Amino acid sequence: MLYISPIKALSILLTAFFVCLFAVPNFISKSAIDNWPTWARNQVVLGLDLRGGSHLLLEVDDRDVRGQKLQGLQDDVRRVLRDARIQLVSPPVIRGNSVEVRIRDQDYSRGLTILRELSQPLGGGLNTTGARNLDITEGEGGLVRLTVTEPAILERTRQVVDQSVEIIRRRLDETGLVEPSIQRQGNNRILLQVPGVDDPKMILDIVGKPASLSFRMVDSTMSTEQLLAGPRPPESEIVYGTAATGNIPYILEKRVLVTGAELTDAQPGFDQRTGEPVVNFKFNASGARKFAQATIDGAGRLFAIKLDKEVISAPVIREPIIGGSGQISGSFTLESANKLAILLRAGALPANLTPIEQRVVGAGLGLDSIHKGMTASYYGAALVVVFMVVTYGLFGVFASIAVGVNVGMIFGVLSLLNATLTLPGIIGVVLTIGIAVDSNVLIYERIREEVRTGRSVISAIDAGFTRALATILDSNITTFLAAAVLFFIGTGAVRGFAVTLGIGIITTVFTAFTLTRLFVAWWVRWARPQQLAIS
Amino acid sequence: MQFRRVSFSASAFFLIVAICQFLFVELNFGRDFIGGTFIEVRVTSGVADLARMRTELGGLGLGDVQLQQFGTEDAVLIRVPKQPGGDAAQQFAIDNVRVALGNEVEFRLGVMEIIPRVSTEFLAQSTIGLMIAILAILIVSWLRFEWQFGLGAMIANVHNLVLTIGFMSLLQIDFDLSSNAALLTILVYSLNDTLVIYGRIRESLCRYKRMTIPDLLNNSLNSTLSRSITTHVTVTLALLALLLFSGHAIRSFVSTMIFDVVLVGTYTSVFIAAPILIYFGVGSTRASTKETTDKRFFHSQD
Q: What is the distance in angstroms between the CA of the first residue and the CA of the last residue of chain B?
A: 19
Task: Check if the beta carbon of residue B241 is closer than 8 Å to that of residue B259.
Answer: no
Calculate how close chain A gets to B125, using CA atoms only, in Å.
Answer: 7
Q: How would you write the pLDDT of chain A (535 residues) with one tens digit per residue? A: 567 788 888 988 998 898 888 888 877 777 777 777 777 777 888 877 777 788 888 888 888 889 888 888 888 888 888 888 888 888 888 888 888 988 888 888 888 888 888 888 776 555 556 677 888 888 888 888 999 888 888 888 888 898 888 888 888 887 777 678 888 887 888 888 888 777 777 788 888 777 888 888 887 776 666 666 766 666 777 888 877 777 788 888 877 888 888 888 888 888 888 888 888 888 888 888 888 888 888 878 888 888 888 888 888 887 788 888 888 877 788 888 888 888 888 778 888 888 777 777 766 666 676 777 778 878 888 888 999 899 888 889 999 999 899 999 999 999 888 888 877 787 788 778 888 888 898 898 888 888 888 888 888 888 888 888 888 888 888 888 888 887 887 666 677 888 888 999 999 999 988 888 899 888 888 888 777 655 4
Calculate how close chain B gets to A397, using CA atoms only, in Å.
Answer: 14
CB of B47 less than 8 A from some CB of A: no
What percentage of residues in chain B have a pLDDT greater than 90? 0
Identify all chain A residues contacting B140, using CB atoms and an 8 Å cutoff: 477-478, 481
Asked whether this chain's domains A6-49+362-527 and A209-357 adopt the same fold, the reply is no
Identify the H or E element spanning B191.
Answer: helix B177-207
Greatest CA separation for chain B: 81
A198, A470, A478: residue with CB nearest B191: A478
Identify all chain B residues contacting A430, using CB atoms and an 8 Å cutoff: 238, 242
Please, which residues have CB within 8 angstroms of residue A85's CB and are 6 or more apart in sequence? none
B137, B238, B244: residue with CB nearest A434: B238
C-alpha distances in angstroms, B262 versus A498, B92, B299? 23, 48, 26
Task: Check if the beta carbon of residue A407 is closer than 8 Å to that of residue A429.
Answer: yes
Domain definitions of chain A by residue range: 6-49+362-527, 62-155, 209-357
A62-155 CATH, one of 3.40.50, 1.20.1730, 1.10.3470, 3.30.1360: 3.30.1360
d(CA B207, CA A472): 19
| B40–A365 C-beta distance less than 8 A | yes
Dihedral of alpha carbons A253, A257, A261, A266, sign? negative
Identify all chain A residues contacting B144, using CB atoms and an 8 Å cutoff: 474, 477-478
CB of B149 less than 8 A from some CB of A: no
Task: Check if the beta carbon of residue B156 is closer than 8 Å to that of residue B194.
Answer: yes
Calculate how close chain B gets to A375, using CA atoms only, in Å.
Answer: 7
Q: A185, A367, A486: best mutation site toward chain B, by most B Cβ within 10 Å?
A: A486
Q: Count the neighbouring beta carbons within 10 Å of the beta carbon of residue B16.
A: 12
Q: Count the neighbouring beta carbons within 10 Å of the beta carbon of residue A141.
A: 9
| B141–A357 C-beta distance less than 8 A | no
Which residue in chain A has the smallest CA separation from B107?
A: A362
CB of A321 less than 8 A from some CB of B: no
Calculate how close chain B gets to A55, using CA atoms only, in Å.
Answer: 9
Which residue in chain B has the smallest CA separation from A430?
A: B238
Q: B230, B252, B256: best mutation site toward chain A, by most A Cβ within 10 Å?
A: B230
Task: Check if the beta carbon of residue A438 is closer than 8 Å to that of residue A384.
Answer: no
CB of A226 less than 8 A from some CB of B: no
Q: How many CA atoms lie within 13 A of A101 on its CB side?
A: 28
Domain spanning A209-357: which CATH class is it, in words? alpha beta
Residue B101 has pLDDT above 70, yes or no: yes
Identify all chain A residues contacting B251, using CB atoms and an 8 Å cutoff: none
CB of A381 less than 8 A from some CB of B: yes
A358, A475, A485: residue with CB nearest B136: A485
d(CA A189, CA A165): 10
A104: left (phi > 0), else alpha (psi -120 to 50), else beta? Answer: beta
C-alpha distances in angstroms, B158 versus A354, A480, B6, B124, B155? 39, 19, 19, 17, 5
Digit-coded pLDDT (tens) for B109-132: 455 666 666 677 777 777 787 788
Identify all chain A residues contacting B89, using CB atoms and an 8 Å cutoff: none
Question: What CATH number belongs to A6-49+362-527?
Answer: 1.20.1640.10
Residue B252 has pLDDT above 80, yes or no: no
State the DSSP code for A530.
S
Which residue in chain A has the smallest CA separation from B111?
A: A360
| A423–B178 C-beta distance less than 8 A | yes
Phi, psi at residue B165, to the nearest 5°? -65, -40
Digit-coded pLDDT (tens) for B123-156: 777 778 778 878 887 887 788 788 888 888 888 8
Which residue in chain B has the smallest CA separation from A377?
A: B242
| B256 vs A83, higher pLDDT | A83
Residue B108 has pLDDT above 70, yes or no: no
pLDDT at position B102: 73
Calculate how close chain A gets to B260, using CA atoms only, in Å.
Answer: 13
SS3 B28: strand
CB of B178 less than 8 A from some CB of A: yes
Calculate how close chain A gets to B55, using CA atoms only, in Å.
Answer: 27
SS3 A313: strand
Calculate how close chain B gets to A488, using CA atoms only, in Å.
Answer: 9
Calculate how close chain B gets to A225, using CA atoms only, in Å.
Answer: 31
Question: Computed over its alpha carbons, how large is the radius of gyration of chain B?
Answer: 25
C-alpha distances in angstroms, A353 versus A161, A350, A427, B107, B122? 9, 9, 34, 28, 20
A434, A437, A445: residue with CB nearest B189: A434
| B140–A477 C-beta distance less than 8 A | yes
Residues facing B98 on adjacent strands? none
Digit-coded pLDDT (tens) for B52-72: 777 777 777 777 777 776 666
Q: B204, B246, B252: best mutation site toward chain A, by most A Cβ within 10 Å?
A: B246
Residue B171 has pLDDT above 50, yes or no: yes
Q: Where are the beta strands (DSSP E) in A364-479?
A: 420-421
ipTM summary value? 0.72
